[in-house]
A and B are shown apart, each in its own frame.
Chain A
Amino acid sequence: MAKILMKGNEAIGEGAVRAGCRYFFGYPITPQSELPHYLAKRMPQVGGVYLQAESEVATINMVYGAAGAGARVMTSSSGPGISLMQEGISYVVGAELPCVIVNMMRGGPGLGNIAPAQSDYFQATRGGGHGDYRMIVLAPASVQEIIDLMQDAFDLADRYRNPVMLAGDGVLGQMMEPVELGEEKEVRIPPRPWAATGRTGGEKHLINSLYIVPEDLEKHNIRLAAKFAAMEKEEQRWEDYLAADAELVLVAFGTAARVCKAVVDRCRREGKAVGLIRPLTLWPFPVKAFQPLLATAAHFLTVEMSMGQMVEDVRLATRECRPVYFYGRCGGMLPVAGDVYAAVQKILAGGEAK
């Protein structure tokens, strides 16, 4: 099929529709607005619902209701709105509801700005809401990858009855790139025997996260933890770009990883053994990717659009037996290939990165 040019935000929308999502609840915020704009047009064409809520507190609770009612459902926002959703996300996990939440990250804290950033990594991977919970966080790095990942996002949500977050940034959302949409496949949405859709003669279903008796909640927590452990075992994803024989391994995701790839290419042209690990799942963090590298790599350099968040996971994954350096730009600034290259040079020459 022919390629078309598509914006990242629109690709999320089209990918969701193709994955069988028919319900979207949203609230305007830059830099993700083209997604609701797209779905406001597209959903009615496929018999779906696009509804604008009065706030992100409302959207995530609309998602809770729709997911409980058995729908494939999604919402989307950016930093401040995702912060408002945290309570709701915690309830969605507690009630074991599948859904997809998109965060097109922008600069923070507070109102920050609307330029691209990756500084919601902690919030996404550590559970920004309360209670003991985890969720899979996917981090695409191109518009094509967004399209490819949307189906997986919904499927993973269903497999684990847990929310899945798609974490992008302003650049990914705003940029247009060629994509191949492929044939529209028939979507099989797994049955949801647990959904509360009215008894209609059957047994009673309850969508709930309250376990007032501590013994019961502990059991629930242990069961959830078993799910999270299964995700950690089964769902780690990453791209290994020339890392196997690299003396220095860059670690970056999303837009930052694109810049790092250019740095790897330049280094390789110059005969320097530099590679890249690009986590595709921020949680579960791809610890497995690092195990073989501990025998081969001498240094790791984490590059992020923040003051350093994922770098903590890299330190854990390398068990600190190799030095892990950090290079970051933040506040909406992007790392520039030349600067990352300079940091690499310095480390290879025995110095330190910024």
Chain B
Amino acid sequence: MMQKVFTRPRTLKDVPTHYCPGCTHGIVHRLVAEAIDELNVFDRTIGVAPVGCSVFAYNYFDCDMYEASHGRAPAVATGIKRVLPDRVVFTYQGDGDLAAIGTGEVVHAAARGEKITVIFINNAIYAMTGGQMAPTTLIGQKTTTTPYGRDRELNGSPVKICEMLGVLDGAAYIARVSVHNPANVVKAKKAIKRAFEVQMAGHGFTLVEVLSACPTNWGLAPDEALRWLADNMVPYYPLGEYKAPEEI
């Protein structure tokens, strides 16, 4: 008998995405969808995607979705979860979105212990708008708004979200993962699933930061981009769990 070993998750629609070749947004969509499928919560999951390259995530996730304004997804998710406490609510946000304009919203959602899961795509750039410096852009990294390289004196240092949020009492699960190779993709999947489980157990705020590649705006070929991520981002943004409940 033939056995299917690889199928499209129920939570993902069978449509082509608009992402560039080598973009890791697609992988992360898949991991989120698999986690939702495996936890069997597809029917009661609600996603929130603000602007960024993933602004059309509502076309790819087959669960109910909201489109939110730039940076405000955690506030929108708060509104949803307070009305529907038994639903599983996640946001899917970029680094410009979450760590710049939306810093207030994510910090206070975490501080309040909102029982939501934030998927945080750190690609060290504003991709959607044409490759500008993000709060997470590395020192020396050239972008369209740091043509001479990010300068600590002018722009300060990259923001480390997991380290920041990990100290808040309301945060229940905070982890940083990467998707630059298969072993890390497996770990990323585990963390994402864990975050959803912690949300569902009612422990509080959960966030998984995913180090991601943007070959287009980094000006690198897809394989070079993954190498650049491993060589430059991983050392600055250490992987691992920053906060986790002892048991669920």
Q: Do A and B come from one complex?
A: yes
Q: CB within 8 Å of B: which residues of A?
A: 26-30, 33, 36-37, 40-41, 44, 50-52, 54-57, 80, 110-111
Check if B129 sits within 8 Å of A29, measured CB to CB: yes
Sample of 6 A–B contacts (CB below 8 Å): A30-B129, A33-B130, A36-B145, A41-B147, A54-B100, A56-B101
The interface residues of chain B lying within 8 Å CB-to-CB of A51 are 154-155
With A and B bound together, what is the CA distance between A37 and B144 in angstroms?
6
Other than the given A28-B130, A33-B130, 14 more pairs (CB < 8 A) read A28-B126, A30-B128, A30-B129, A33-B129, A36-B132, A36-B144, A37-B132, A37-B147, A40-B146, A51-B155, A52-B133, A52-B145, A55-B71, A56-B101
Check if A28 sits within 8 Å of B129, measured CB to CB: yes
Q: CB within 8 Å of A: which residues of B?
A: 51, 55, 67, 69-71, 96, 100-101, 103, 126, 128-130, 132-133, 135, 144-148, 154-155
The interface residues of chain A lying within 8 Å CB-to-CB of B129 are 28-30, 33
Which of A27, A28, A44, A57 is packed against the most chain B CB atoms within 10 Å? A28
With A and B bound together, what is the CA distance between A2 and B65 in angstroms?
54
Check if B144 sits within 8 Å of A40, measured CB to CB: yes
Check if B135 sits within 8 Å of A50, measured CB to CB: no
From known contacts A27-B101, A30-B130, A36-B132, infer whether A52 and B155 are also in contact, taking CB-CB under 8 Å. yes
The interface residues of chain A lying within 8 Å CB-to-CB of B132 are 28, 33, 36-37, 52
Which of A37, A54, A110 is packed against the most chain B CB atoms within 10 Å? A54
Q: Could you say which of A30, A44, A80 contacts B148, with CB atoms under 8 Å apart? A: A44
Distance between A110 CB and nearest chain B CB, rounded to angstroms: 8
Check if A50 sits within 8 Å of B100, measured CB to CB: no
Binding site secondary structure of chain A: mixed
Closest to B51 in A: A111
The interface residues of chain B lying within 8 Å CB-to-CB of A33 are 129-130, 132, 144
The interface residues of chain A lying within 8 Å CB-to-CB of B70 are 80
The interface residues of chain A lying within 8 Å CB-to-CB of B55 are 111
Check if B100 sits within 8 Å of A55, measured CB to CB: yes
Check if B101 sits within 8 Å of A40, measured CB to CB: no
The interface residues of chain B lying within 8 Å CB-to-CB of A41 are 147
The interface residues of chain B lying within 8 Å CB-to-CB of A52 are 132-133, 145, 155
With A and B bound together, what is the CA distance between A284 and B70 in angstroms?
32
Which of B55, B96, B132 is packed against the most chain A CB atoms within 10 Å? B132
Check if B145 sits within 8 Å of A80, measured CB to CB: no
Check if B145 sits within 8 Å of A111, measured CB to CB: no
The interface residues of chain A lying within 8 Å CB-to-CB of B69 are 80, 110-111
With A and B bound together, what is the CA distance between A25 and B129 in angstroms?
17
Q: Could you say which of A28, A30, A80 contacts B96, with CB atoms under 8 Å apart? A: A28
Distance between A77 CB and nearest chain B CB, rounded to angstroms: 11
Check if B145 sits within 8 Å of A37, measured CB to CB: yes
Q: Could you say which of B71, B96, B145 contacts A40, with CB atoms under 8 Å apart? A: B145
Closest to A39 in B: B145
The interface residues of chain B lying within 8 Å CB-to-CB of A55 are 71, 100-101
The interface residues of chain B lying within 8 Å CB-to-CB of A44 are 148
With A and B bound together, what is the CA distance between A40 and B103 in angstroms?
24
Closest to A40 in B: B145
Distance between A135 CB and nearest chain B CB, rounded to angstroms: 24
Which of B129, B133, B145 is packed against the most chain A CB atoms within 10 Å? B145
10 smallest CB-CB distances across A and B, nearest first, come from A55-B101, A28-B129, A54-B100, A28-B132, A40-B145, A37-B144, A41-B147, A28-B126, A33-B130, A52-B145
With A and B bound together, what is the CA distance between A28 and B135 in angstroms?
12
Closest to B132 in A: A28
The interface residues of chain B lying within 8 Å CB-to-CB of A27 are 100-101
Closest to B55 in A: A111
From known contacts A30-B130, A33-B129, A111-B67, infer whether A50 and B145 are also in contact, taking CB-CB under 8 Å. yes
With A and B bound together, what is the CA distance between A181 and B155 in angstroms?
31
Closest to B71 in A: A55
Check if B154 sits within 8 Å of A40, measured CB to CB: no
Check if B51 sits within 8 Å of A40, measured CB to CB: no
With A and B bound together, what is the CA distance between A292 and B135 in angstroms?
55
Q: Could you say which of A28, A54, A56, A57 contacts B145, with CB atoms under 8 Å apart? A: A28
The interface residues of chain B lying within 8 Å CB-to-CB of A56 are 101
Distance between A301 CB and nearest chain B CB, rounded to angstroms: 36
With A and B bound together, what is the CA distance between A26 and B133 in angstroms?
11
With A and B bound together, what is the CA distance between A324 and B69 in angstroms?
37
From known contacts A36-B145, A40-B147, infer whether A54 and B130 are also in contact, taking CB-CB under 8 Å. no
From known contacts A28-B130, A33-B130, infer whether A54 and B103 are also in contact, taking CB-CB under 8 Å. yes
Distance between A114 CB and nearest chain B CB, rounded to angstroms: 9
With A and B bound together, what is the CA distance between A52 and B70 in angstroms?
16
